[in-house]
Structure 1
Amino acid sequence: MKKISLLILGILISTTSCKKVKKETEETTEEVKEVVEEVKSDESKKIKVTLEPKSNSNVKGSVVFTETNGTVKMVAVFEGLSEGEHAIHLHEKADCSADDATSSGGHWNPTFKDHGKWGVESGYHKGDIGNFTADANGNGTLTFSTDEWCIGCGDETKDILGKAVIVHQGADDFTSQPSGAAGARVSCGGVIQ
C-alpha cells in the first residue's frame, strides 16, 4: 500500500510539475513572439531608384530611400549636371516614359498645400525637397531625412511608393506656384517596390 501511495504521489507531482513547465514555456514563447514583433517593426525598409536622363540631358544618378523607426532618409548621387544649383522633387506618378518626364505629373501634394520650402510654416508640398549644388564636374549629392514620409505604409499622405524623383535644370525659387520655376526635368526615376 505504501508503494502505491508513493507512486500516486509521484504521478501527481510529475503532472503538476509538467503543467507548470508547460505554462512557463507558453509564457516564455509569448514573450519571445512579442520581442520578435517589436524587432520586425523596427526593421529598415530600403528602396534604390535609378534616374535616367530626360529633356536631352546627360543627367543620371541614383537615390536610396531607407526607413528606420518612422524616419525616411534619402541619399541621392547625380552626375552630368551643369555646375550650380538644381531642384529635386517627388512627383505624383512613378512614370518616366515621356522624353521630358512630364508623364510623372506635378509635384506630389497629397495635403493640397501651396508650393514652398520644406519645413516652412506657410506650407509646402510633400514632394518639395529643395535644392542641391553640382560641382564643376557636374556631380551633386543630397541627403535628406523626414518623418513625413514612409515606404509602403499605405497612408496616401505619407507613402512615397508610386512617386517619381525628378531633378530639374535650375534651382527652386520656393515661391512660384505650383512648381518653383525650376526649369526642365533633366532626370527621372520611379519609386517602386
Structure 2
Amino acid sequence: MSETVKASGGTTDGTDYTDRLQRLSGAGWKRALNVQAPYRWNIRRLELGFTLDVGCGIGRNLAHLDGNGVGVDHNPTSISACREAGLTAFTIEDFFKSEYATPGRFDAILGAHLIEHVEEEQAKEIVSSYLPFLRSGGRAVFITPQERGFASDATHVRFSGFDEVGKICTDLGLTLDRQFSFPFPRPTGKVFTYNEFVTVARKP
C-alpha cells in the first residue's frame, strides 16, 4: 500500500521533509520555552489508551503518548528517526505485516496533521484502511491546522476545518463526539500558526 503525499510545494515522503520536521522541532527557542507542553497535555488528557498514530512523522505525538502507542508513516526516514528515539513505529508496509495489525488491537487512532496533506477521498482511503484495527467504541482523533498554520507549509493540500473533518468522520461511519479549538479560541487561528482544530469521533 502506498500513501505518498504530493503537493505543488513538495512531498512528505523524502529525507528533506524529515530534516525539516527535525529542524523545526529542534529550534532552540522552542526547547527553551517548552512549547510542546500544552500539546502534550492535550493529548494526554484525552486518555486515549493504546493508540495507533497514523502519519506519526518523527514521533512528536508518540512521545506525548509516553510509550502507549505505535506509529505508522509512509516516510521511511521519519520512521528511522522515531526508532532512534526509542519509539515503536513502522512504515506502512511493515505495519500491515506486524503483530499490531490485528482487528480491534487499538483503543484509539490519532491522525495529527495528516488530513490536510491530501484530498478528501485520499484522506478517507487512508483512515478507512486503519479503522479495522480500532476496537468497537474506540476513538478516532484528528488534529489539523487552522488558517495561519495551513498557510505555513507548502505540502498542505486541502484546508480541513471542523466541517471538512467532521464530514470525513461521518462518511466513514464514525460518530462525532466533540470538536474544539486548541490551545486558543477559534479566531486565534487566523494569526497564530500553532492553533489547531481537534475532532474526536467514535467507532460504533
Relative to the length of structure 2, the TM-score reads 0.23
Structure with more of its chain in strand, by fraction: 1
Structure with more of its chain in helix, by fraction: 2
Relative to the length of structure 1, the TM-score reads 0.23
Structure having the higher Rg: 1
Query: Which structure's relative contact order is higher, taking Cα pairs within 8 Å and 6+ residues apart?
Result: 1
